[in-house]
Amino acid sequence: MAKDPKHHVATRLSHAGRAGTHVHGFVNPAVHRGSTVLFPDTAARREGAKHRFEQFMTYGTQGGPTHYAFEDVIAEIEGGTRALIVGTGLAAVAVPLLAYLKTGDHCLMPDNVYGPARNLAGGLLKGWGVETSFYDPCIDEAGLRALLRPNTKVVYTESPGSHTFEVQDIPAIARAAHAVGAKVLMDNTWGIHHFQPFKHGVDVSIQALTKYVGGHSDVLLGSVTVNNEADWLVVRGTGSQLGQFASPDDVWLALRGVRTMLVRLQRQEQSGLEVARWLEARPEVKQVLHPGLPSHPQHALFKRDFTGGCSLFGVVFQPRYSPDDVCRFIDSLALFGIGASWGGFESLCIPTTGNITRTAGSGDFGGPMCRIHIGLEAPEDLIADLTQGLGHLGA
C-alpha cells in the first residue's frame, strides 16, 4: 500500500509491510529463511552488491522479504524513512551508539537511562576512549547547552525513563544538541507510536520491539529507525559491520504481533491508568510515577508531545515502609508475575529500589519503589489482587 499520511495509524498498521509480499494470494508474507542468495549471472551479482542496503536480497545477513515487510511497518510506526531490525532491544541501543561515537568523543546520557545502556557507556565505550557524562533527565535547553563540549557527538535520550518515568523536553534538548552538530538518539520504547520522534528533533529512534510490538512475551527484537538516507547508511553500515541480524522466524512473530498492537495497547493503557489512579488514592502509596496522571511532575510536557502512553509505571510507597515490605507485597500478588520486561499480555511487578543507579542526581523518591506492568487481565481483578497484596505491606 502506498503511504497515505491521511489514514489513521490503525489503518496504516493494517496495511503497511504488505506490498509485494503476497504469496499465492495469502495475506501475510511467508517466513523466508536463507543465507545464500543465487543470481542468474555474475553481472547480476555485481549489480546486486551495489543495492545491498536497499531491501535488495544479496545475502542472508542483508535480510529478506520477511524483514523488509517488518522494516516498513516499524518505519511507519515511528514516522521515519527506514528501520533496521536487530536481534534485541539492547542491540538497537548499541548499534547507533557505536555508529556515531569514536575514540576521543563525548556522549551525554540521561541519569535515568536503561541500565544496560549505562553498562555499555561504562564498559566498551569507555574502553575505546569515549567519555560519557550523565545529565538530569529533566534538564532544560540552557542546562544541556552548558554540558555540551566541542567533542560531544551524541546526546542520548530516553523518555520517559523506564523505571522512574521522567518525561524529557526532547525538542529543547534537540535544539541544543543540533546547535553543536551532535546527533540526538532516543529510546522510544515507552512512547511507541504515541511519540513521533522525528517531529520532535530526534535523529535516530530506538525501540525494544520485545515489548508491546511483540506483545506476547515470546520474542526478542529491536529496531533503529532513521529519517534520511545519510543516517540510514551510517546505521545500516554499522549494523552490517557488527553482523547484526534478526531471525526471520522472530520477525514473522513480531509482524503478527504488531497487527493487533493498537487494540492491545489501548486496552492496556486504559487499564494501566485505572490501576494507577486507584493506587494513587491509597494511603500506603506516596506517589505513582505515570506521565498520564495529572499529578506527574512533567504531565504538561507529556500532554504537549505525546498522544497517549502505555501500561508501565512506577509506585513509590510511604517512607514508613521498607524495601522488604514492598517485596512481601509483591510476593503476595497472585496475578502479577515477578520478572523483567514489559509490553506482554500479562501483568508484572518488580521491586525497583535497589535497581536504580544515579550519578548526576540522588534518585531518591522518598520511599521504597516498585514497577508495575499492566497486561490484558480485567482491571477489577488486578485491583482486587493489589488490595489483598497491600494487606501484606505492613504485616
Ligand X SMILES: *Cc1c(COP(=O)(O)O)cnc(C)c1O
Question: What does the binding site for ligand X look like in residue numbers (CB under 6 A)?
Answer: 88-90, 93, 114, 162, 187, 189, 208, 210, 220, 222, 341
Supply the DSSP string of 174-206, one letter for each residue.
HHHHHHTT-EEEEE-TTTTTSS-GGGGT-SEEE
Q: Taking the CA of residue 79 as centre, how many other CA atoms within 13 Å lie in the half-sphere pointing to its CB?
A: 19
3-state helix, strand, coil in the chain (%, to 5): 40, 15, 45
The least distance separating ligand X from the CB of residue 99, rounded to whole angstroms, comes to 17
**CB contact set of 395 (below 8 Å; sequence gap of 6+):** 328
The least distance separating ligand X from the CB of residue 242, rounded to whole angstroms, comes to 15
Contact 269, 302 (CB under 8 A): no
Partners of 83 in beta bridges: 225
The least distance separating ligand X from the CB of residue 114, rounded to whole angstroms, comes to 4
Work out the burial of residue 334: count CB atoms within 10 Å of its CB; fewer than 13 is exposed, 13-18 middle, 19 or more buried: exposed
Our CB check for ligand X shows the closer of 65 and 191 to be 191
Our CB check for ligand X shows the closer of 226 and 310 to be 310
The least distance separating ligand X from the CB of residue 289, rounded to whole angstroms, comes to 15
Nearest alpha carbon to residue 317 among 387, 385, 368: 368
The least distance separating ligand X from the CB of residue 115, rounded to whole angstroms, comes to 9
The least distance separating ligand X from the CB of residue 210, rounded to whole angstroms, comes to 3
Our CB check for ligand X shows the closer of 220 and 348 to be 220
Query: Hey, how many other C-beta atoms are within 10 angstroms of the C-beta on 148?
Result: 18
C-alpha torsion sign, points 118, 239, 185, 126: positive
Integer Cα distance of 79 and 16 in angstroms: 12
Our CB check for ligand X shows the closer of 318 and 341 to be 341
Nearest alpha carbon to residue 311 among 218, 385, 376: 376
Residue 88: all three cell numbers together: 534485541
Our CB check for ligand X shows the closer of 162 and 298 to be 162
Our CB check for ligand X shows the closer of 254 and 386 to be 254
Q: Which amino acid is at 21?
A: T
Our CB check for ligand X shows the closer of 29 and 110 to be 110
The least distance separating ligand X from the CB of residue 57, rounded to whole angstroms, comes to 26
The least distance separating ligand X from the CB of residue 78, rounded to whole angstroms, comes to 15
Nearest position to ligand X, beta carbon: 89
Our CB check for ligand X shows the closer of 95 and 234 to be 95
